[in-house]
Chains A and B, each alone.
Chain A
Amino acid sequence: GNSVTQMEGPVTLSEEAFLTINCTYTATGYPSLFWYVQYPGEGLQLLLKATKADDKGSNKGFEATYRKETTSFHLEKGSVQVSDSAVYFCALSRNNNNDMRFGAGTRLTVKP
């Protein structure tokens, strides 16, 4: 079945450090891939997405590239800020299928 595996947290970084959160997926066909962010006490918000192989999604300095050959969609940011502290979820959905699968979430804490 379709599933997403992301690196376990928590991840603690200093401000301005480089961030990578790994995400790999298992799916039939060609899924769309997403990163969502959940700030404390809030719902999930879409951070970025990619709908086909080699697409790069980007937003707020975050990037992720859809790599079909490695079935991965790793999230990166060159310089994190304290305000990036949140839980990050990788997710996939197959086209024409509204059953979105989420990873377990990775908690990021950025210290000043």
Chain B
Amino acid sequence: DTAVSQTPKYLVTQMGNDKSIKCEQNLGHDTMYWYKQDSKKFLKIMFSYNNKELIINETVPNRFSPKSPDKAHLNLHINSLELGDSAVYFCASSQDLRGGEQYFGPGTRLTVT
């Protein structure tokens, strides 16, 4: 059983398109996250949700909109894709907001052409 799963694993699309990435965790965790990893492996937090409530919203273009239908799911929708959005996007979860370890999904490699 995969603890944190993401779909799709690879996403190739053209500039200007709108796309979504889905994430699900079966760990019973309250808190979920989206990270962006660039080509140099630098990892940057984008959003975090706790029990469907937005907690962290870093300086991210408003073309990126997260949605959490329930605490086991956190999706990321991206409008008007740009070349600079090409990266690997990771979903993660943690038990709660108390700062413990996070469990990561396998990542979605987004390529914008």
Chain A interface (Cβ < 8 Å from any Cβ of B): 31-32, 34, 36, 38, 42-46, 49, 87, 89, 93-100, 102, 104-105, 107
* Interface residues on chain B, number (Cβ under 8 Å): 27
Specify which of A32, A44, A93, A96 is in contact with B104 (CB 8 Å cutoff): A44
Q: Which residues of A are found within 8 Å of B96, using beta-carbon distances? A: 98
**B contact residues vs A (CB 8 Å cutoff):** 4, 31, 33, 40-43, 45, 48, 50, 55-56, 90, 92, 94, 96-107
Interface centre among A34, A44, A46, A97 (most CB of B within 10 A): A44
> What residues on A are CB-neighbors of B41 within 8 Å?
38, 87, 104-105, 107
* One of B40, B45, B101, B107 near A46 (C-beta < 8 A): B101
Closest 5 CB pairs of A and B: A43-B104, A93-B99, A105-B41, A44-B104, A98-B97
